[in-house]
Structure 1
Amino acid sequence: MFLQILLILLAFFVGIQFLYYVFILGRFSFSKKTTTTAKKIPISVIVCAKNEAENIKKYFPLLISQNHPDYEIILIDDASSDETLDLFEKYEQQYSNIKLVKVQNNETFWGNKKYALTLGIKVAKNEHLLFIDADCYPNSKNWITQMASQFTSKKAIVLGYGGYEKIKNSFLNKVIRFETLVTATQYFGWAKTGNPYMGVGRNLAYTKKTFFDAGGFIEHMKIRSGDDDLFINQVGTKSNTTICFTPESFTYSEPKKTFNEWFNQKRRHVSTAKLYKPFDRLQLGLFYISQLAFILLSIILLAFQHQWIIVTSIIVFRYLFTWISLGYAAGKLKEKDVMYWYPIIEFFLIFTQLNVFFTNIFSKPVHWK
């Protein structure tokens, strides 16, 4: 009787997974490419940096050489102790479309990236803002144009894709990129259903009006993380949010090289989710619980060989629709190679997420540098 109940639960959680992967994530995975007309909207690109001199040397040339006809770059130095400020001052003198914002340490907002970003947003001359992290770079010279083309009279928020570089023969790299793929498929899928719940600061755009109408980051200023996901969770709606996923619009950054570095990064990202709207916390929690339950229930039922033909059929069905859904998304986001390792990576990631959850209960993650 007990094993029969477990079988029913397995079918139930796989049913939940089917709804997620086909009807929610599938809104992005199976969506058709849309063509947009390039717009000559003036854009302010905002880059906030704290001790990022080496990355700035590598990536700034890719920002200043964009093909967009009208853009400025707001360089924000958040009290760096390396040569970041020196580089920014040199660029400001060299290029007419550069504005420099120097942030001094402030007792009230010590180490708070949101404070630094707010200062940068205030000096931006253009209504439309495009954000990228200092350790990221655009995938093409048309990055600004591609993201800007999604703005309309109604769409004031554009969610983009921020991926990670590929490292050959690295299992951790595949895990990182797979997680990024799943996360992007989730927030793109939910945005297309009319419930945008997050974005990533590595590639995100919105208007100054959207920012100031919401009071900026004031609702979560004391939370050091969340300048991207908490803000979008607060202001994103069905009517004002759209997505951009053309390859030319992607940004990339260097992934973590060790498990501990990546684990600590995940702890920071996960720590803000508890501040999402109740529905978003519920749907994210249900998605993860259904994944974990599927793995555990499958192992138990197969170990006891309880109606193994039915159990095996349910497992195969589950991997079939998830593989198809994520496979289509991976094709759109140029991450197809991670799907070859899908079941192994997913198993590893699910239990890593469980570890992150319990670790965050007992200690707080370290945030902005």
Structure 2
Amino acid sequence: MQLFIFFLIVVTLIYVALITALILGWKKVASFELSGAAPLNKFSIITPFRNEAENLPELLLSLSNINYPKTHFEIILVNDESEDNSVQACFHFKQRNPELQFSIINNIRKTNSPKKDAITTAIISSRFEYIITTDADCAVPALWLQAFNEKIIETDAAMIAAPVSFFSARSSKERFLNYLAAFQELDFMSLQAAGIGGFGLNRPFICNGANLCYEKRAFYEVEGFQGNSNISSGDDVFLLQKFKDLNYPVCFLKSEQAIVYTKPQASLQTLFSQRIRWAAKTTAYKSVFAKLIGLSVLLVNLFLVIGLILTLLNEVNYELVLFSFLIKFLVDLGLLYYSATFFRKKTMLSHFLWCSLLYPFFSTLVAILSLFSGFEWKGRSFKK
């Protein structure tokens, strides 16, 4: 047991050091305020969709409300073999908004990653120099393109990542769904905070394809998604790593006016599928920093679970495991506090204690499942 205690202490200290570094990185990324600069840049907005008839109207409405010259952006929706009324919803929108440059195309499948194929298919037919991707279950803010335009003018970055948050929680009659939404909200905010912290440390390692902008020219120069097309997800992270490895300037747009909103998963099953899908790509990370973050998160949660089991078996002293948990709890709370403040969701921190108790088990289970099992997503099965 002495060896376990030693590793628990070491893993906890490494985790605390890394999260503290991410907090410092968060502080280094200055909030971006819009100045009203002239709309100089043009954008191709790309959204792949599959069976999203329920979600598309909200996205399309938000796209129609974008406050930016209509001549300076186009919308490309990519149908990935939808089996519902998604395509009809898109055509109805197009008919009602003739002033928009709007096209609906079919995905051309070439790889094991439908979403990467869809984005590549759209980029080939795109007209403008900057690509922006978002998801079908999202809604974008009115000043979205203006924010990217001003950030490009200021930084001349080849890739700009931006924040994603959940829609304001709508109380459900089922208490379990309310807790499930709260758990996802805190988990998602921690991922956003860690990602922004990585940019602040000049070691960006994650971003979100629901709110990502990059130069079309640079996309082709880094050979797009080539090299990771066998992995179903990662249209955002692997592209970020390519840009960074080849010394293209990347940055984060830390602006409330650029936040894209999305929905939490509606069931425990889809939540696990989503997280397994995300976790499955971590073994392909090339960034040492990304691997170190991922490994430390896995190990500290795994050791806490093992520590609890050993405590119940009276094999280790509970004070040590409790101390490790409390240190992790406090440093996690520090990171989440900054994120919750930025997203104006500090009330969600009232759920932090029970989520912290549950998260080590959830995280460990997701990691194990991602190593040995496939997952289902959007009506498709993906094998390990």
TM-score by structure 2 length?
Answer: 0.84
Match of 1:356 among 337, 345, 366: 366
Q: Deviations over 1:276-313 (max 9, x none)?
A: 115122331123313433564478579678594x8766
Output aligned runs, 1:13-162, within 5 Å.
13-28=11-26, 32-39=30-37, 40=39, 41-69=41-69, 70-93=72-95, 94-103=97-106, 106=109, 108-109=110-111, 112-138=114-140, 140-152=141-153, 154-162=156-164
Secondary structure of 2:139's match?
strand
Partner of 1:176: 184
| Aligned partners of 2:47 and 2:76 also within 8 Å | yes
Secondary structure of 1:347's match?
helix
Distance 1:63 1:273 in 2: 32
Equivalent residue letter for 1:77: N
Q: Deviations over 1:182-237 (max 9, x none)?
A: 11111111122112222211111111012111111122223222212222232235
Distance 2:272 2:318 in 1: 38
Distance 1:114 1:365 in 2: 18
Distance 2:118 2:53 in 1: 17
Secondary structure of 1:54's match?
coil
Secondary structure of 2:261's match?
strand
| Aligned partners of 1:16 and 1:290 also within 8 Å | no
Equivalent residue letter for 2:128: N
Output aligned runs, 1:286-365, within 5 Å.
286-294=296-304, 296-297=306-307, 306=317, 308=319, 316-365=326-375
Match of 1:262 among 268, 271, 276: 271
| Aligned-residue RMSD, C-alpha | 2.8
| Aligned partners of 1:52 and 1:84 also within 8 Å | yes
| Aligned partners of 1:113 and 1:227 also within 8 Å | yes
List alignment gaps of at least 5 residues for structure 1. Answer: none
Distance 1:105 1:311 in 2: 52
Secondary structure of 1:117's match?
helix
Equivalent residue letter for 2:101: I
Distance 1:64 1:323 in 2: 38
| Aligned partners of 1:48 and 1:75 also within 8 Å | yes
Partner of 1:250: 259
Distance 1:218 1:194 in 2: 24
| Aligned partners of 2:190 and 2:336 also within 8 Å | yes
Distance 2:377 2:106 in 1: 18
The 10-residue stretch of structure 1 (217-226 or 82-91) with the greater mean CA deviation from structure 2:
82-91
> CA 1:13–1:361 in 2, change beyond 3 Å: closer, same or farther?
closer
Q: Deviations over 1:128-161 (max 9, x none)?
A: 12111011112x3112222332224541111112
Is residue 221 of structure 1 aligned with residue 229 of structure 2? Answer: yes
Partner of 2:376: 366
> CA 1:357–1:292 in 2, change beyond 3 Å: closer, same or farther?
closer
Q: Number of aligned pairs?
A: 364
> CA 1:109–1:277 in 2, change beyond 3 Å: closer, same or farther?
closer
TM superposition shift of 1:163: 1.7
Distance 2:369 2:326 in 1: 33
Distance 1:47 1:122 in 2: 14
Equivalent residue letter for 1:366: E
TM superposition shift of 1:113: 1.9
TM superposition shift of 1:353: 2.0
Equivalent residue letter for 1:100: S
Distance 2:111 2:332 in 1: 43
TM superposition shift of 1:29: 5.2
Equivalent residue letter for 1:145: Q
Q: Deviations over 1:255-290 (max 9, x none)?
A: 112111111111111111121115122331123313
